[in-house]
Amino acid sequence: MCGIVGYIGNRNSLPIIIDGLKHLEYRGYDSAGVSIINSDKKIYSFKKAGKVSIMDDAIDKDFYTGSIGIGHTRWATHGVPNDINAHPHFDMYDNIVIVHNGIIENYKYIKTRLIEEKYTFITDTDTEVLANLINYYFRKTKNFEKAVRMALIEVEGTYGIACLCAEEPDKIIVARKGSPLMLGIGNGETIVSSDASAIINHTKNVVYLEDGDMAVLTKQGFFLKSVEDKDIFRNTEVLDFLIDEIEKGGFDHFMLKEICDQPETIQNTYRGRINFETGVVKLGGLEHVMDKLINAKRFIITACGTAWHAGLVAEYMIEQFCGIPVEVEYASEFRYRRPIIRTDDVMISISQSGETADTLAAIREAKKFGATTIGVVNVIGSTIAREVDAGTYIHAGPEIGVASTKAFTSQLMSLALITLMIAGEKKTLPDKTLIEIAQELKNIPEKIKHMIDMREEYKKVAEVFKDTKNFLYLGRGYNFPVALEGALKLKEISYIHAEGYPAAEMKHGPIALIDEYMPVVFIAPKDRTYEKIISNIEEVKARKGRIIVVASDDDEQISSYADHILRVPTTLPIFAPILNVIPLQFLSYYIAAARGCNVDQPRNLAKSVTVE
């Protein structure tokens, strides 16, 4: 949510900042801006509503040539997305300029106080208030670092900030609380960013800031202190992904690339973690909490959006194979409803970004009550990954398309591995079954590849439905969460209204929507609910609904019910969601692309939701 880049070193900062902002744009794209300190030691800013490319086209590159600068791409929280509200923001004396991710919750109170001190404001943003507050303390202390510190101590809410000071034009000060920030350590230069994708082009060595950390960056390097002025030390870590992974690689969109990457990403999730001959799973990051896992009285799964759908699938898996009760909660609801949490509960939190504010808050709540917290996270070194007691990375690689695809299937695979690991330890599954599952797991990448090769078939169906106004998605058992996920994918990138339901629930309301215009997608692999779902299909057919079925390759009977068939390879029920979601990802992608939608950056959405 919003992206920050800053550069200090000996190179021209503008191209580095703009390139970084383009890599961060998936986090927010309402407006973009930069502030550069030119060789005359003065700060010059330029900002524009709209995408980074609009700012990039409009800015005079011969003028902005300094080697110190900060930039921002915005996802609006306070104030409409226009030129004025775009970051960076100056204080009223043009002394402090700041880019900010997050929300200052007490900004109204601070603003009122500053107005009493004769400060005036030109934007509706909380960030401008923070710039003025820093300047207020700068006027008292004549010290940039002290002023930032004093201001931040007063602030309630979340922030990742980078700021410059006209009266101390040789440094950038950065700080974080609840919003990610990291330093890329180059040769004679430092790049600050909210996300590694803006840094990887320049260096692989990074220092992740933690909540309450502040860093002062100069051309000589940087030093770290806490906002409270205490000494701190953070290790330098090495980024482990390749530049190729954040490029489109010849595909029209990141989303399409990420869908097609799934044979590989799924393999990366399980590689080295399962013995195919014995079915034994080892997840290094969970070994030290194994006792807690096998003796858990209950699992509480918390997540948001797509990750929550993965959590619903895990509920079916864990209850079926491990015999442990599972509750799946929207993290945003969990944190505010005084949940009952016990010390023998284990919370599994699923998050692609590892930064989702609600998921993080749920983890903190669980920790307060002594539960064991484990993370199933994609982004290495993210806040959730660092705050949980134990965890496993899904290793899907950077996901740039705002609509989650490869992270979802890797989350499902990770959750299957956790299930098998616990079932193996608890002996709730016969060895024979474990081996059978492990053998099938090995086939999953090839089966996904088969679907990718036949994506033109899915595209043909998408073309039929591109102008439709509504969609229903229905599934049962393991495939009910897949129905939810299919509907979410479609609505977020094509803006077509879509709902997912457990198929049997249809009779309790949604059936009223069925007429000859309503497409209904059934997820109907040949499993133990097959006959039931055929009855549901008949009910829709009787009301003239248009029937699309995700059906097993070997299901011949289905053609007498379906108007359109999205074929999928057969597999065991535990892996069915991984395969069945793929035609639905393609369906939504091709519908959105045919409608001319901005697939990778759908309106109003941001990749990483770091505000409540």
Binding site for ligand F6R (CB under 6 A): 304-307, 351-353, 356, 359, 403-404, 488, 492, 608-609
- CA dist., res. 47 & res. 88, Å (int): 8
Find the shortest distance in angstroms from Cβ 362 to ligand F6R: 11
Tell me the CB-side half-sphere exposure of residue 459, using CA atoms within 13 A: 9
Q: Is 413 helix (H, G, I), strand (E, B) or coil?
A: helix
Query: Which one, 26 or 222, has the nearer CB to ligand F6R?
Result: 26
Closest to 406 measured CA to CA, from 588, 607, 593, 585: 585
Number of neighbours of residue 152 by Cβ within 10 angstroms: 22
Query: Which one, 352 or 372, has the nearer CB to ligand F6R?
Result: 352
> H or E element: which one contains 24?
helix 13-24
Q: Residue 157: left (phi > 0), alpha (psi -120 to 50), or beta?
A: left
Find the shortest distance in angstroms from Cβ 115 to ligand F6R: 36
Query: Which one, 262 or 306, has the nearer CB to ligand F6R?
Result: 306
Beta strands 31-37; 43-49: pairing state: antiparallel
Q: Is 421 helix (H, G, I), strand (E, B) or coil?
A: helix
- CA dist., res. 597 & res. 493, Å (int): 7
Judge residue 79's burial from the number of C-beta atoms within 10 Å of its C-beta, 0-12 exposed, 13-18 middle, 19 or more buried: middle
Query: Which one, 71 or 401, has the nearer CB to ligand F6R?
Result: 401
Output Rg (C-alpha) for the chain, integer angstroms: 25
Residue nearest to ligand F6R (CB): 305
- What is the CA angle 289-292-295, rounded to 5? 145
Find the shortest distance in angstroms from Cβ 180 to ligand F6R: 11
Find the shortest distance in angstroms from Cβ 192 to ligand F6R: 21
Query: Which one, 173 or 403, has the nearer CB to ligand F6R?
Result: 403
Helices marked H in 224-373 — which ranges? 254-260, 262-270, 290-294, 305-322, 331-334, 357-368
- Tell me the DSSP string of 117-147: TT---SSS-HHHHHHHHHHHHHHHHS-HHHH
* Contact (CB, 8 A) for 543 and 514: yes
Find the shortest distance in angstroms from Cβ 411 to ligand F6R: 8
* CA distance readout (Å), 546 to 32, 307, 376, 509, 587: 44, 29, 38, 18, 15
Beta strands 345-351; 372-377: pairing state: parallel
Query: Which one, 265 or 608, has the nearer CB to ligand F6R?
Result: 608
Helices marked H in 25-84 — which ranges? 52-58
Beta strands 470-475; 298-303: pairing state: unpaired
Q: Which of 2, 165, 260, 304 is catalytic?
A: 2
Find the shortest distance in angstroms from Cβ 599 to ligand F6R: 12
Judge residue 588's burial from the number of C-beta atoms within 10 Å of its C-beta, 0-12 exposed, 13-18 middle, 19 or more buried: buried
Beta strands 390-393; 31-37: pairing state: unpaired
Number of neighbours of residue 428 by Cβ within 10 angstroms: 16
Find the shortest distance in angstroms from Cβ 244 to ligand F6R: 22
- β-strand partners of 4: 72
Find the shortest distance in angstroms from Cβ 260 to ligand F6R: 17
Reduced to 3 DSSP states, what percent helix, strand and coil does the chain have, rounded to the nearest 5? 40, 25, 35
Find the shortest distance in angstroms from Cβ 534 to ligand F6R: 30
Beta strands 68-74; 89-90: pairing state: unpaired
Query: Which one, 362 or 562, has the nearer CB to ligand F6R?
Result: 362
Query: Which one, 45 or 77, has the nearer CB to ligand F6R?
Result: 77
Find the shortest distance in angstroms from Cβ 254 to ligand F6R: 12
Query: Which one, 355 or 555, has the nearer CB to ligand F6R?
Result: 355
Residues 6+ apart with CB under 8 A from 337: none
Query: Which one, 478 or 589, has the nearer CB to ligand F6R?
Result: 589
Find the shortest distance in angstroms from Cβ 463 to ligand F6R: 23
Query: Which one, 356 or 552, has the nearer CB to ligand F6R?
Result: 356
Judge residue 453's burial from the number of C-beta atoms within 10 Å of its C-beta, 0-12 exposed, 13-18 middle, 19 or more buried: exposed
- CA dist., res. 427 & res. 439, Å (int): 18
322 has catalytic annotation: no
Q: Residue 188: left (phi > 0), alpha (psi -120 to 50), or beta?
A: left
* Contact (CB, 8 A) for 303 and 311: yes
2 has catalytic annotation: yes
Residues serving a catalytic function are 2, 607
